[in-house]
Amino acid sequence: MRGKQLLMLAALFFWGVAACAAEAEADPQAMVRHMAEYVLSQVKAHKAELEKDDSLIYQLVEEKVIPHFDFRRMTRSALGRYWRRATEDQRQRLTNAFREMLVRTYAVMLRSYSGQRLEFLPYRGKPEDRRAIVHIKVYTKDGAPPVPIDSRLYRGKDGEWRVYDVLVDGVSLIANYRRTFAREVRQGGIEGLIGSLEKHNQELRHG
């Protein structure tokens, strides 16, 4: 499947996971289902407005998505062993830049949603688990085989589930970024990576 399609599918799941996470249901699959249905219903109901005004979709992200993802953990994982070399200031700047890149990239992809169907597979976890994987399949309209999407979540001390990675068709989004980040750090150091992310975000803002 093409890269843009994978990103779009990941966006559906990422945003679906975050939309109503404050309810913190004990069963992460029930939570994810509720969230996915909510966010997709919002996209369907306001598609015309979202296409005309980008600020509306970013407002939705700020209010419903950002508080329920562990972006620092995602950034640390994506940076791998280079995280130890970064100062605290660099870590915070990296986290902010990575968060903005993900949000803006998935916002663009989410607007291209065109009615793909989601199927939630049986959940095998236990109520006392601190980590969970929720499996779904996404059916496209072209009749191709469904694409599996696996969400990795952990339950924080406050009892809420938070997403830290998504696998699309077996490919980890964080692992993909880890390879890119490693190459950037080898070429230009931590500051080079930060500059590259910030430049990319600027292009997205004006794209």
Q: In what order do the strands lie in the sheet with 117-120?
A: 117-120, 131-139, 147-155, 161-168, 171-172
Indicate whether 122 belongs to any domain: no
Asked if the structure places residue 75 within a domain, the reply is: yes
Residues 6+ apart with CB under 8 A from 193: 79, 94, 181, 184, 185
- pLDDT tens digits along 3-43: 445 455 555 555 555 544 444 455 778 777 776 777 777 77
- pTM for this model (two decimals): 0.80
Q: Tokens 């209010």 — which residue? A: 63
- C-alpha 116: how far from its chain's center? 18
Q: Give 134's strand partners.
A: 151
Q: Which domain does 70 fall in, by range? A: 3-113+171-198
**CATH (domain of 46):** 1.10.10.640
Between 207 and 42, the more confident residue is 42
Helix (H, G, I), strand (E, B) or coil at 155: strand
Q: Does residue 140 form part of some domain? A: no
Within a domain: 151: no
In a domain, 137, yes or no: no
Q: Is residue 126 part of a domain?
A: no
Q: Which residues on adjacent β-strands are paired with residue 117?
A: 139
* Residue 10 domain flag: yes
pLDDT at 118: 83
Q: Are 132 and 153 in contact (CB under 8 A)?
A: yes
Give the pLDDT band of residue 134 (cuts 50, 70, 90).
confident
146 occurs within a structural domain: no
Average pLDDT, the chain: 81
Quote the number of domains for the chain. 1
